[in-house]
Amino acid sequence: MRQASVERKTKETEISVSLDLDGRGDYAVSTGIGFLDHMLEQLSRHSLIDLQVKATGDLHIDFHHTTEDSGIAIGEAVSRALGDLKGITRYGSATIPMDETLSRVNLDISNRPYLIWKVNFSKPKLGEMDTELFKEWFQAFAQAAGITLHVENIYGENNHHIVESCFKGLARALRQAIEIDPRKSDAIPSTKGVLGGSL
């Protein structure tokens, strides 16, 4: 049962996350930020991870804390649900087209968190959300989940398409990486016998 729940409460946000890695992509997401909700729904649907997120935060200040802390909480839940990482495929990659946009995501569930973010936006906001916050979400998620994550927008013009293709790319790559390898379901996918630390 690769499931986990996380409760995160600070002076800035209060977030609860529950997920099932072996789900069907069912979701119930409410962060108070419409565009972020839409992206997290895409993450759930295309990864087949059942995801419930309830967040309240200091949106009267800005969207930064809620965005970042939701990434932390979801990443922590993914890490807990994966447990000792035994049997997982470990690596995942996806190249996602969305109309005029093409984005590529590659990841390694390695316990060595790292983010490479090669995504640029032509506008400072999408709706009411600052576009710079998307990097903050991916950084927080990668750090908390223990994932080496490379996200690259190869080309594109529409900012909505660009960020959505990144989230869908993460979803598809994650779906691939968390799958249990039937030929090595009892083994840690590393010659060291453990994931994390030095190469």
Summarised one tens digit per residue, pLDDT across range 92-120 is 999 999 999 999 999 999 999 999 999 99
Q: Which fold has domain 3-178?
A: Ribosomal Protein S5; domain 2 (3.30.230)
Average pLDDT, the chain: 94
Give every strand in the sheet of 3-9, ordered side by side.
Answer: 3-9, 13-20, 50-57, 27-30
Q: What is the pLDDT of residue 198?
A: 43
Nearest one of 31, 16, 19, 113 to 65, comparing CA atoms:
31
Rg (CA), the chain: 16
What is d(CA 199, CA 197) in angstroms, rounded to the nearest whole number?
Answer: 7
> 43 versus 181: which is more confidently predicted?
43
- At residue 75, what are phi and psi to the nearest 5 degrees? -60, -45
Nearest one of 33, 64, 46, 194 to 139, comparing CA atoms:
64
Strand 13-20 vs strand 27-30: parallel, antiparallel, or unpaired?
unpaired
What integer is the mean pLDDT of 157-173?
A: 98
What integer is the mean pLDDT of 121-140?
A: 96
What pTM was computed for the model? 0.94
For residue 191, pLDDT beyond 90:
no
In the chain, domain spans: 3-178
